[in-house]
Structure 1
Amino acid sequence: MFKRWLLASTTAAVLAILPIAAQAQTNGGDIVVTYKDDITTLDPAIGYDWVNWSMIKSLFSRLMDYEPGTANLVPSLAESFTVSPDGLTYEFKLRKGVKFSNGREVVASDVKYSIERAINPKTQGPGAGFFGAINGFAELTGGTAETLSGIETPDDGTVVFKLSRPDATFLHVLAINFASVVPKEAVDAAAGDFGKKPVGSGTLILKDWTIGQKLSFERNPDYYIKGVPYIDSVTVEVGQEPLVALLRLQKGEVDIAGDGIPPAKFLEIKNSPEGAQMIVDGEQLHTGYVTLNTKVKPFDDVKVREAVNMAINKERITRILNGRATPANQPLPPLMPGYDKAFTGYGYDVDKAKALLAEAGYADGFETVLFSTNTDPQPRIAQAIQQDLAAVGIKAEVRALAQGNVIAAGGTEGEAPMIWSGGMAWIADFPDPSNFYGPILGCGGAVQGGWNWSWYCNEALDKRAIEADSMSDPAKVAERQAAWGKIFTDIMADAPWVPVINERRVVAKSARMGGPDNIYIDPTRVINYDAIFVK
């Protein structure tokens, strides 16, 4: 996408977000969505799981966004932008009249404040590393500055970014949740609880949140694109077991079963008369993996990590998922540019796994803990992994917890030896291989509250990652993709992960829900609340 925008920027192209046109939309209607676990936060600088990601997308706006159901970048809060020929200066002109839900107009200083807040270590957000190319990043993250020298606001309608190096992903970065624009006065007034009292300029407004029961959202009547969103309200009910949610959906009491269809019911639903209307099934940029905490024994030994990679039977896990996944052998999913089709990784080999454990001094195995979320089928997958590990002498206690608790354990150094990421596994923030590195395998993600749950940091690979992202010349797209692909296959020599599966996403929706399938499996939003509608 960088090539398209680099060329367009010379004329400061002005584009608007266009509504979905695949079906005739209707306006109005109230919908019910269910999830098993409560939402942890709606703060865009902190929230980073696949459930709150969609809600945050709709509560807030960003300079850039994507056409619904696609990964095609378009200006959003920005009306237009230009990029300097050297790729080091980006200037954005803001739309006039855009308002926060507290009634105040969005101005350039809000953009600067919001990104600085996302980067500031005091926020303890997991997205700081995305903004590493902005001048002043090192000073802000290092605690020697409170602001970014690389963001200038010459007037209320103009934001200028000065980069220390070209960044081929920078426009994508300005479209992710961490770049959401928030009003400082609302953050200050919330006194540390902005995640429960969000104020944004997106399509939805949070009206009520009863912890452990439900969240109520209403359409923002002042949203700057008239007629969007199409629905009047969304009620998100939490604490719903997936099976119960599915039965309620069949009765017409639920419109979207957020946790999908339990594998035990999938074939029954698929073959039912209403199955074709209920099921949305599609590819996604996803990898499910087991993290191995490289900071704790015995996973500080690469031979142990290699042994675990060889001990897990990935084919069995795909069968648990009714074949809605394929075995993975590297961090990148097959649809991502840079994926190495020739790479085979670690094959399933029980004897070799035992031999490696013996070489590492663990001929009799060892005891450990495997964390997992507690929503079906994740505990069953964790138990299958537990059985595989037992076959090579590793006794793993499965600790199935609510998603928020697993995330907290992963982001605390030394607390979680192993995590099965299912239910939270990595879905791309944007369609670029770099997104599978920085937050989850790079040194910047191996921090308190981060998502690099292996706590793996390879400074030489970090340097190569920066070099790859600095290839912003459109003529070097293929070279850049190859560079990224080699980074990921080289990572596997250190085996900080066990890449397990690349899973398809399956959503269950009621027959009255409208819109094309790709907004229910949106590549950048998971579910696009801005584009769905009631027929």
Structure 2
Amino acid sequence: MKNALMAGVAGLALVAGGALAQVNEDAPQGGEMVVTYQDDVATLDPAIGYDWQNWSMIKSLFDGLMGYEPGTTTLRNELAASHAISGDGMTHTFVLKDGIKFHNGREITAEDVKYSLDRVTNPETRSPGAGFFGMIAGFDTWNAGEGEGLSGVEVLDDKTVRITLARPDATFSHVMALNFASIVPREAVEASGEDFGREPVGSGAFRLTDWTPGQQLVFERFGDYHRAGVPKLDRVTFDIGLDPTVALLRLQSGEADVPGDGIPPAQFLQVMNNPAQAENVVEGGQLHTGYITLNTRMAPFDNVDVRRAVNMAINKARIVQMINGRAVPANQPLPPTMPGYADDYEGYAFDPEAARALLAKAGHADGFTTELYVMNVDPNPRIAQAIQQDLAEIGVTAEIRSLAQSNVIAAGGEADQAPMIWSGGMAWIADFPDPSNFYGPILGCAGAVPGGWNWSWYCNEEIDARASAADAMADPAKTAEREAAWRSIYVDIMEDAPWVPVFNEQRFTLVSGNVAGDDSLFVDPVHIPVNYDYIHAATGE
């Protein structure tokens, strides 16, 4: 999923199966937390929202059949009381918990599960996450606008849903824990229509009680939540429209608790060199790659030599220095700690002279003019300027278009609008610790659709078939073979050069003394960036 650069920073620590967060069950109920952001929230519809800012908000408003233990990527049943898997891995049967309710007071039934999965995969919904569900029987037909929903999702009774897969898939249980698999009430969606993202009704630990566009959102505790004692806080307030530097000052003065856009890079060393502030900095690992997309459907980036030349032109080490060394240069889509990472792959070396030669071979000896889109939160515009300077060295003139996050996302989702995008602020962090997650939404054919997140509009059908075959290796005995398959896939993608992988980040965030909880809740691997459900007031620590 997408993240905000240095915003605390949206990451998946590779902790699957690791120690659980130390949740303070005895912490008192009550209190509130204030989180700041510069830009307004684009949407709170779980079928649509897919960025750093709204991901954790949506997770606190909605639940799916599956979820994760706090602070980890360890799966658990959420709205499901049980999850039975057939011996061949092709059939998954979920039985719902008793008494689970939506925020409107209605009890959740199996029909709601069927409706929600049909909705997210309906092409009319234009969900960027639809492709995640491609393993479910009937997806291809339904996604093409034919038939009436996913034939593989069957309601057996009010409490029971059976999901039949078209092929084995090693990622299915994780997919059912994604925001996109959240259960929504049909009546609320139909009543709100296109405004459901502004008027969300879910079954999560919090419910939305106020949204003043451009100013504030207020979440309040849902009293009928299905997990006793959750959430601890009564309220989470999101203050919108604050420059990250102003937000930091508000936190330092006790007026905010978490700066959603993170520690401003210009103030990072100042914060770290102040012992009183440094002790409130939380650091965590993440499965992240920041990259430049090259739109393969727009000239001249429809020429692979041009794309390779741009890869050779970018001085990644200099960009890492610009962010205080909080990353390492990247040479492939996968981060180094992800299974399937190719340790022996050297990538494209920084070589402006070779880049100029490739441009000449491609018919652009005199260079060309293009546009580079970037999110307008620091340090992203400065990084874009560094990229602009590197491109100028090989004769490429790049006009920077610095826009709000939602505008950059919208541009990337149109096939002919954004020739290049620096992903910072929206770069990729794994939704779950599996190499396939860096492919489908952002490099696969399923993501190269209007409104999708494959902003390079790269679609290699041969690689798509290999990716499907790799995910079909659901037998744990084939883990090594599956990782090798993904390793080969990403090396071959880099031959096509639809991206310039730039760096892999480490995540830092700052927390006030007013709220408390295990560090992993503030750098939560799936409630990105923050697990609001389990944080509590500092009183009683």
Smaller-chain TM-score range? over 0.9
SS in 1 for 2:239: strand
Which residue, out of 92, 95, 107, partners 1:93? 95
Q: Residues 66-98 of structure 1, C-alpha deviation per residue, up to 9 Å, x if partnerless? A: 011100000000111111111100001110100
The structural deviation recorded for 1:21 is 3.0
Shift of 1:22: 6.3
Q: Is the 8 A contact 1:277 1:511 kept in 2?
A: no
Aligned to 1:61: 63
Retained in 1: the 8 A contact 2:44–2:200? yes
Q: Which of 337, 358, 361 is residue 359 of structure 1 equivalent to?
A: 361
Q: Is the CA contact (8 Å cut-off) linking 2:61 and 2:204 kept in structure 1? A: yes
Task: Indicate if the aligned counterparts of 1:58 and 1:203 stay in contact, CA closer than 8 A.
Answer: yes
Q: 2:21·2:71 contact (CA, 8 Å) conserved in 1?
A: no
Separation in 2, partners of 1:26, 1:475: 46
Alpha-carbon deviation of 1:23?
A: 8.3
Q: Distance in 2 between matches of 1:352 and 1:287?
A: 25
Judge conservation of contact 2:21–2:518 (CA < 8 Å) in 1.
no
| Structure 2 counterpart of 1:436, from 438, 441, 463 | 438
Which residue in the other structure is 1:250 paired with? Answer: 252
Distance in 2 (CA, whole Å) between partners of 1:418 and 1:278 is 37
Once the two structures are superposed, residues 361-413 of structure 1 have per-residue CA deviations (whole angstroms, 9 ceiling, x without a partner) of 11111000000000011100000100000011100011110000000000011
- Matched residues in 1 for 2:347 and 2:93: separation? 43
Deviation string 1:489-512 (CA, Å, 9 cap, x unpaired) is 110000000000101111111122
Q: Distance in 2 between matches of 1:25 and 1:409?
A: 45
Shift of 1:25: 2.9
Check conservation: 2:169, 2:474, Cα contact below 8 A: yes
Tell me which residue corresponds to 1:483: 485
How far 1:318 sits from its partner (Å)?
0.6
Give the TM-score, by structure 1 length: 0.96
* Cα gap change, 1:437 to 1:266, in 2 (>3 Å): same
Secondary structure of the 1:435 match is helix
The structure whose RCO (Cα within 8 Å, separation 6+) is larger is 2
AA at the equivalent of 2:81 = E
2:415 paired residue number: 413
In the other structure, the counterpart of 2:180 is 178
Equivalent position SS for 2:196: coil
1:133/1:166 contact within 8 Å kept:
yes
SS in 1 for 2:279: helix
Q: Which amino acid in the other structure matches residue 372 of structure 1?
A: V
Mapped pair 1:529 → 2:529: no
Query: CA separation in 1, counterparts of 2:324 and 2:27?
Result: 34
**Cα distance in structure 2, aligned partners of 1:193 and 1:81:** 33
Separation in structure 1 between the aligned mates of residue 134 and residue 194 of structure 2, nearest angstrom: 25
* 402, 405, 422: which one aligns with 1:403: 405
Distance 1:179 1:480 in 2: 25
Q: Distance in 1 between matches of 2:21 and 2:398?
A: 49
Corresponding position of 1:457: 459
1:4-43 → structure 2 map (5 Å cutoff) = 20-21=22-23, 25-43=27-45
Cα pair distance change 1:94/1:19, threshold 3 Å: farther
User: Where do residues 321-340 of structure 1 align in structure 2 (5 Å cutoff)?
Assistant: 321-340=323-342
| Aligned residue type for 1:514 | A
Identity level (%):
62
CA distance in 1, matches of 2:261, 2:28: 26
- SS of residue paired to 2:47: coil
3-state secondary structure, aligned to 1:149: coil
- Cα distance between partner residues in 2 of 1:19 and 1:355: 53
1:272 equivalent in alignment to 2:310: no
Q: Pick from 212, 215, 240 the counterpart of residue 238 of structure 1.
A: 240
C-alpha contact (below 8 Å) 1:23/1:514 kept by paired residues: no
CA separation in 2, counterparts of 1:26 and 1:395? Answer: 58
| Structure-2 separation of matches of 1:529 and 1:22 | 14
Match of residue 222, structure 1, among 196, 221, 224: 224
Match 1:313 to one of 288, 308, 315: 315
Tell me the equivalent position of 1:472: 474
- SS, match of residue 302 in structure 2: coil
Give the Cα separation in 1 of the matches to 2:466 and 2:43: 34
Distance in 2 of aligned mates of 1:161 and 1:332: 30
**Match 2:286 to one of 284, 287, 301:** 284
CA separation in 1, counterparts of 2:280 and 2:513?
6
Alignment-derived partner of residue 197 in structure 1: 199
Following TM superposition, by how much is the alpha carbon of 1:148 offset from its aligned partner in structure 2, in angstroms? 1.0
Please say if residues 20 and 531 of structure 1, whose CA atoms lie closer than 8 Å, have aligned partners that are also in contact: no
1:350 to 348, 352, 368: 352
**C-alpha contact 1:38 1:239 (8 A) present in aligned 2:** yes
Q: CA separation in 2, counterparts of 1:292 and 1:531?
A: 40
Give the SS at the match of 1:405. Answer: helix
CA distance in 2, matches of 1:23, 1:201: 21
Question: d(CA) in 2 for partners of 1:326 and 1:511?
Answer: 31
> In the alignment, what sits opposite 1:119?
121
SS of 2:494's equivalent? helix
Q: After TM superposition, give the deviation of residue 28 of structure 1 in Å.
A: 1.1
Gaps of 5+ in 1: 1-17
Amino acid at match of 1:408: A
Q: Residue 194 of structure 1 aligns to a residue in which SS?
A: helix
**Structure 1 counterpart of 2:161, from 148, 159, 162:** 159
1-structure distance, mates of 2:192, 2:489: 42
Contact 2:214 2:241 in 1 (8 A): yes
- Contact 1:305 / 1:496 at 8 angstroms: preserved in 2? yes
Unaligned runs of 5+ in 2: 1-19
What is the aligned partner in structure 1 of residue 80 from structure 2?
Answer: 78
Q: Distance in 2 between matches of 1:321 and 1:19?
A: 29
Q: Which amino acid aligns with 1:213?
A: Q
Measure, in 2, the Cα distance between the counterparts of 1:413 and 1:264.
Answer: 35
CA apart distance, 1:275: 2.3
Quick one: distance in 2 between partners of 1:208 and 1:146? 35
Two-structure CA RMSD over aligned residues (Å): 1.1
User: 1:525 offset after TM fit, Å?
Assistant: 1.6
Q: What's the offset of the Cα at 1:142?
A: 1.0
Q: Indicate the larger mover: 511-520 or 402-411.
A: 511-520
Secondary structure of residue in 2 paired with 1:160: strand
1:192 counterpart SS class: helix
Q: 8 Å contact 2:21–2:72 — kept in the other structure? A: no
Deviation (angstroms), 1:50? 1.1
Selected match of 1:140 from 139, 142, 158: 142
User: Do 1:118 and 1:127's aligned partners in 2 also have CA atoms closer than 8 Å?
Assistant: yes
Q: 3-state DSSP class of the match of 1:488?
A: helix
Cα pair 1:293 1:455 within 8 Å, conserved: yes
CA deviations on 1:250-291 (whole Å, 9 max, x unpaired) are 000000001111111111101113223321122111100000
- Where 2:267 maps in the other structure, the secondary structure is helix
For normalisation by structure 2, the TM-score amounts to 0.95
